Amino acid sequence: MQGVIPTDRFVKLHVGRTSPCCLTPWFASVMTLKTSASLRAEPKKKKKVSPMSEQLQRDRLKKRVRRLEKVPPELIPVEDLVTPGALCSKPVFEESERRASLLKEWCRYKQEQNMAEMQAVELALKSQTEALEELKLESEELYHASLKPDTLLFPFTHEGPVHTPPINKYEAPDGKYNDITKVFTQ
């Protein structure tokens, strides 16, 4: 039963085929997306506020503003605005050299990482072409089948016209247009 996948876990595609693609951790089908309860909820209705309560709130705000205008603003001492010299001093020569060497070391590390990745991709492509050549020697039919794209990997179907036929007696515009902007005068 290890190689058998239960049919209730299959995803029905647009073309009528079934695929176990949603069972892999690398693929999440669009058809498996769900909306949460909060997305389906109705917006809350606003309470009706009487004009008297609005007027009272405005009056309270005006009183607060008048009180704040009466109190003089509190001044901030100048010492709080000045940064200490130890914080804004420029780095010492040794510190700048250490930072430069650290930056160079980081650049070398990233370059080695990039080169290793490029070599891995080249090795994978080389082994793939060798495997395809061996398959071509074994069976021409299997070779051509392996070159076809896997339609179950990305279940995307698209139907529609490839080319649109021309419309008879259609005159293409020259780039001119009629200005229909409304002008209002008083």
Write the pLDDT tens digit of every residue in 62-73.
999 988 888 877
| pTM for this entry | 0.34
Residue type, 48: K
What confidence score (pLDDT) does residue 88 get?
Answer: 67
Instruction: Please tell me the total count of domains within the chain.
Output: 1
CA distance linking residue 58 with residue 8, whole number of Å: 63
- 90 inside domain: no
Residue 31 lies in a domain: no
In a domain, residue 131? The reply is yes
Contact 18, 12 (CB under 8 A): yes
- What residues are paired with 12 via a beta bridge? 18
State the first-to-last Cα distance of the chain, in angstroms, to the nearest integer.
85
Residue 66 lies inside a defined structural domain of this protein: no
For residue 125, is it within any domain? yes
Q: Tell me which amino acid residue 126 is.
A: K
Residue 103 lies in a domain: no
Amino acid 163: pLDDT: 82
Tens digits of per-residue pLDDT, 168-177?
988 877 777 7
Residue 127 lies in a domain: yes
User: pLDDT tens digits, the chain, 186 residues: what are they?
Assistant: 444 444 444 444 344 444 444 444 444 555 555 555 555 566 777 777 777 888 889 999 999 998 888 887 777 777 766 777 766 667 788 888 999 999 999 999 999 999 999 999 999 999 999 999 999 999 999 999 999 988 788 777 778 877 888 889 888 777 777 788 888 877
Q: Domain range for residue 141?
A: 113-146
Q: How much is the pLDDT for 80?
A: 65
Upper half-sphere CA count for residue 33 (Cβ side, 13 Å): 5
- Are the C-beta atoms of 158 and 13 separated by less than 8 Å? no
Cα dihedral across residues 6, 11, 12, 18: positive or negative:
negative
Q: What is the pLDDT of residue 131?
A: 94
pLDDT at 15: 43
> Could you tell me if residue 135 is inside a domain?
yes
